[in-house]
């Protein structure tokens, strides 16, 4: 008897495409701003980017609905498709503008001013639609203060029950207002079904607008299962005003701080440290209180950032010490083991390994070599009123206090610049540069001058 051939493996399930439609046409009137609402930043990044970046981890296609004249938003959304809602007639009308790009799979409608939904929550929304058999899945929350949120009414009063209806706060009874399960407005359904529901939405309401929330009642009326997917309040926080923007900023900062500490960074007083969305802090970095990171900062292992420092657009190499009260501006490159002290500002300049600039100094458009010591009050005069010029300082130099280096100028390796000098010409390696007037002492002149001034003061009464 021969062995039978192994059974053939079942064919892999066909991939079902998914499309995210992000509504971003709102003007944000309550923001009192000339900017489109979704361009306002959180941790230095426009809020729309958060939603796009997270959605890109989950969905095959992203379509952003924008308003007319929103070229900035279209550029921010690139390379994803954009469609224009020429007339702002409500959220269902906005979603309908993208209907031709829904494709054949599942479609989720998200809001650009609700930017903090994580990729994990988006995946759970899709899973509810695909695995739990929901004809329509929606995102819901239980906020600490439900306020004027629309209420989600389920058949058994639980989060896992079938959704029967969404009741807007203004239309809710006292019993319905007591419900704490609230609607976030995010919906997911099959593309063809979703298109049909959107086309059927009517605008017979006080504002004459087409509301996306009406799709829920349509799904229930069609006998479809409607289920809620829970997400934390911090993720589902909408942003319609400057106050709400500040609340969202606080939420983002909490996430960033926790992520940094989980990665091995010490934040001595976390609530006083402000990070940008792209801040890179390697393990064993120590950040003291009241430090602000702008966009584009990378800090390597073992660095200490002391209190009240501000960093943006810079790289700090291992074991350097920054601050307190230091400012690193775009283009600053701080070498391994270098020190940047109090009230030192560095812009478009590199400070070599082990170099020090510890007090009251401005270094702009400059390159400072390894092991060089820059004394208090040193200034690289890099701007002539029209053009910027560079200062180059070699390795192992000593720049005395209150030196003024007028660029373009080069200081050779090992050179010494005398305190109080104004340097306008290159200084060779191992030379001493002195650029100050010769001192002259006038014997007895101080006493004579004081007597003359005292006499004049008495005469003036």
388 belongs to an annotated ligand binding site? no
DSSP string, 377-436: T-EEE-B-SS-B--EEE-TT-EE-TT-EEESSEEE-TT-EE-TT-EE-S-B-TT-EE--S
Q: What does the block give as tokens for 121?
A: 């929550």
Question: Is 382 a known ligand-binding residue?
Answer: yes
Point out the catalytic residue in the list 15, 339, 359, 389. 359
Collapsed DSSP state (helix, strand, coil) of residue 145? coil
37 annotated as ligand-binding: yes
193 is in an annotated binding site: no
Residue 173, marked binder: no
CA angle (39 as vertex; 36, 44 as ends), nearest 5: 155
Buried b (16+ CB within 10 A) or exposed e, 299-332: bbebbbbbbbbbbbbbbbbbbbbbbbbbbbbebb
Residue with tokens 């305190």: 419
Annotated binding-site residue? 275:
no
Is 60 labelled a binding residue? Answer: no
Tell me: is residue 178 an annotated ligand-binding position: no
At which residue do the structure tokens 């000593």 appear?
398
Task: Flag whether 311 is marked binding.
Answer: no
Q: Is 23 annotated as a binding residue?
A: yes
Nearest Cα to Cα of residue 139 among 91, 185, 92 = 185
Annotated ligand binding at 348? The verdict is no
Structure tokens of 144?
């600490």
329 among annotated binding-site residues: yes
Ligand-binding site membership of 113 (annotated): yes
Going by the DSSP 8-state scheme, the letter that residue 355 receives in this structure is -
Annotation-wise, does 351 bind a ligand? no
Q: For residues 330 and 317, what is the distance between their CA atoms, to the nearest angstrom?
A: 15
| Residues forming a β-bridge with 162 | 227
Closest CA to 26 of 15, 35, 16, 13: 35
Torsion of CA 146, 149, 153, 156, to 10 degrees: -20
Query: Is 40 a residue of the active site?
Result: no
Which residues are annotated as part of the binding site for UDP-N-acetyl-alpha-D-glucosamine?
23-26, 37, 85, 90-91, 111-113, 150, 168, 183, 240, 329, 347, 362, 373
Residues marked active site are found at 359
Binding positions for acetyl-CoA are 376, 382-383, 401, 419, 436
Return binding residues for Mg(2+): 113, 240
Q: Which residues are annotated as a binding site?
A: 23-26, 37, 85, 90-91, 111-113, 150, 168, 183, 240, 329, 347, 362, 373, 376, 382-383, 401, 419, 436
């Amino acid at each position: 008897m021969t062995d039978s051939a192994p059974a053939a493996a079942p064919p892999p399930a066909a991939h079902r495409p998914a499309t995210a439609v992000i509504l971003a046409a709102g003007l944000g009137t309550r923001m009192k701003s000339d900017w489109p609402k979704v361009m306002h930043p959180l941790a230095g990044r426009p809020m729309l980017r958060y939603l796009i970046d997270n959605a890109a981890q989950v969905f095959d296609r992203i379509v952003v609905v924008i308003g007319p004249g929103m070229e900035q938003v279209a550029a921010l959304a690139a390379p994803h498709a954009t469609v224009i809602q020429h007339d702002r007639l409500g959220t269902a009308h906005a979603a309908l503008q993208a209907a031709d790009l829904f494709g054949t799979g599942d479609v989720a409608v998200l809001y650009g001013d609700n930017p903090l939904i994580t990729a994990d929550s988006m995946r759970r929304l899709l899973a509810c639609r695909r695995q739990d058999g929901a004809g329509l899945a929606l995102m819901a929350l239980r906020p600490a203060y439900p306020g004027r949120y629309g209420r989600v009414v389920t058949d058994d009063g639980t989060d896992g029950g079938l959704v029967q209806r969404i009741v807007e706060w203004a239309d809710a009874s006292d019993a319905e207002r007591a419900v704490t399960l609230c609607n976030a407005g995010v919906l997911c359904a099959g593309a063809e079904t979703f298109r049909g529901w959107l086309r059927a939405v009517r605008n017979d309401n006080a504002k004459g607008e087409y509301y996306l929330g009406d799709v829920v009642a349509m799904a229930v009326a069609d006998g479809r299962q409607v289920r809620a997917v829970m997400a934390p309040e911090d993720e589902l926080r909408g942003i319609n005003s400057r106050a709400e923007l500040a609340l969202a900023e606080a939420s983002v900062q909490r996430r960033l701080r926790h992520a940094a500490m989980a990665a091995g960074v010490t934040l001595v007083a976390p609530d006083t440290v402000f990070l940008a969305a792209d801040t890179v802090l390697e393990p064993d970095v120590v950040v003291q209180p009241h430090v602000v990171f702008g966009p584009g900062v990378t800090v390597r292992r073992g660095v200490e950032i002391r209190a009240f420092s501000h960093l943006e657009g810079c790289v700090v190499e291992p074991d350097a010490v920054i601050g307190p009260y230091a400012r690193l501006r775009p283009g600053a490159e701080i070498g391994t083991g270098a020190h940047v002290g109090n009230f030192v500002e560095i812009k478009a300049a590199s400070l070599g390994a082990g170099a020090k600039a510890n007090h009251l100094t401005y270094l702009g458009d400059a390159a400072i070599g390894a092991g060089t010591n820059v004394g208090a009050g040193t200034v690289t005069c890099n701007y002539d009123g029209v053009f910027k010029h560079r200062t180059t300082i070699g390795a192992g130099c000593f720049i005395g206090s209150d030196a003024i280096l007028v660029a373009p100028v080069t200081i050779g390796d090992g050179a010494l610049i005398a305190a109080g000098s104004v340097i306008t010409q290159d200084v060779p390696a191992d030379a001493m540069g002195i650029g100050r007037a010769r001192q002259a002492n006038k014997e007895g002149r101080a006493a004579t001058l004081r007597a003359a001034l005292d006499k004049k003061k008495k005469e003036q009464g």
